[in-house]
Amino acid sequence: MTKYTFTEKQDTRSGFGAGLLELGRTNPKVVALCADLTGSLKMGDFKKEFPERFFQVGIAEANMMGLAAGMSINGLIPFTGTFANFSTGRVYDQIRQSIAYSEKNVKICASHAGVTLGEDGATHQILEDLGMMKMLPNMTVINPCDFNQTKAATIAIADHEGPVYLRFGRPKVPIFTPEDQKFEIGRAIRFTEGRDVSIFATGHLLWHAIEAEAKLADRGISAEVINIHTIKPLDRQAVLQSIAKTKCAVTAEEHQLNGGLGDSIAQLLAQNTPAPMEMVAVNDQFGESGKPAELMEKYGLSTNDIFEAVLKVLERK
């Protein structure tokens, strides 16, 4: 069985920046808009190489979303960049009406999602964004797990006609997926094959799920770790096939329990093949200031939380 290791850590936002730069070189329709967070979003290289295709809109996110809709009407593929908090809740009406409902080819690229934003605290740590975005008809929702996957996802969404929400984060995290991967929207990736429990993880939690799998293996528990990088459309077949074998599930995400990946999988299982399930997510709380790793521990998003959730769900089988 494959054992996953890493030699390097990098932030997923840098994966976005690298993907955007590559798109600049390969797809002349791609343009970028940013609301005064060029450095944070790692959009600087794109800006430098393609100044005429980069638009600094200032601290004015509502206008940015409306502009992006208009630019897509005239044939471009706009990528908007700001924090996840300001990419969703602040501009929900703009996205809902003029991008999702209006079926516009806009890519909403959202950094610093979740508690791993860290010290700035709850005002900026959005944990509700996946829920808000997945509720919108026509919206594709993607939450990649490391630098390489984020870069590949950024490149892939340019070829997908329609609105996309791409979520990534601030801290440096292990790089453990292949550099040359092709990202397939809506296609889950099985990282380890197992028979006792399915662990469905997204974003930063995937690495923790892989760590938990190793701990579980030491106890003789065989866990199937599946990366749900696309929250919507959910890879129903991959989830149901795994559950047919393991008969129980744990979900893991840096998001509220309400509205996240766990919700989506619970809905799918309840409608098809009810199975015991535990959810590793933030339990109806706001975050706070702190180091990313400290906060992941405190809010129940650690490797050990996944490990414990597996033990719990196995008892319910």
DSSP conformation class of 51? G
Nearer to other proteins, 86 or 207 (CB): 86
For residue 224, what are its two tokens? 């199937």
* C-alpha angle 34-149-286 in degrees, rounded to nearest 5: 65
Least gap, CB of 227 to other proteins (angstroms): 33
**200/205 Cα distance (integer angstroms):** 9
Residue numbers 199-238 binding other proteins by CB under 8 A: none
Least gap, CB of 120 to other proteins (angstroms): 23
Residues 6+ apart with CB under 8 A from 221: 196, 197, 310, 314
Q: Which residues of 8-21 are buried (b: 16+ CB within 10 A; e: fewer)?
A: eebbbbbbbbbbbb
Residues 6+ apart with CB under 8 A from 45: 17, 18, 20, 21
> Which of 22, 61, 254, 278 is the catalytic position?
61
Least gap, CB of 89 to other proteins (angstroms): 15
Least gap, CB of 24 to other proteins (angstroms): 15
Nearer to other proteins, 73 or 293 (CB): 73
- When asked if residue 49 is in the footprint of other proteins (CB under 8 A), the reply is no
For residue 2, what are its two tokens? 């494959």
Least gap, CB of 232 to other proteins (angstroms): 20
- Answer left, alpha or beta for residue 43, where phi above 0 means left and psi between -120 and 50 means alpha: alpha
Nearer to other proteins, 106 or 309 (CB): 106
Nearer to other proteins, 62 or 214 (CB): 62
Least gap, CB of 75 to other proteins (angstroms): 7
Residues 6+ apart with CB under 8 A from 179: 148
Residue numbers 52-71 binding other proteins by CB under 8 A: 52, 55, 57-58, 60, 62-71
C-alpha distances in angstroms, 121 versus 85, 172, 205, 295? 12, 18, 20, 10
Nearer to other proteins, 102 or 258 (CB): 102
Judge whether 315 counts as a catalytic residue: no
Residue numbers 84-103 binding other proteins by CB under 8 A: 93-94, 96-98, 101-103
Nearer to other proteins, 12 or 72 (CB): 72
C-alpha distances in angstroms, 299 versus 125, 215, 294? 12, 21, 9
- List of residues contacting other proteins (CB under 8 A): 52, 55, 57-58, 60, 62-76, 78, 93-94, 96-98, 101-103
Q: Which residues are annotated as catalytic?
A: 61
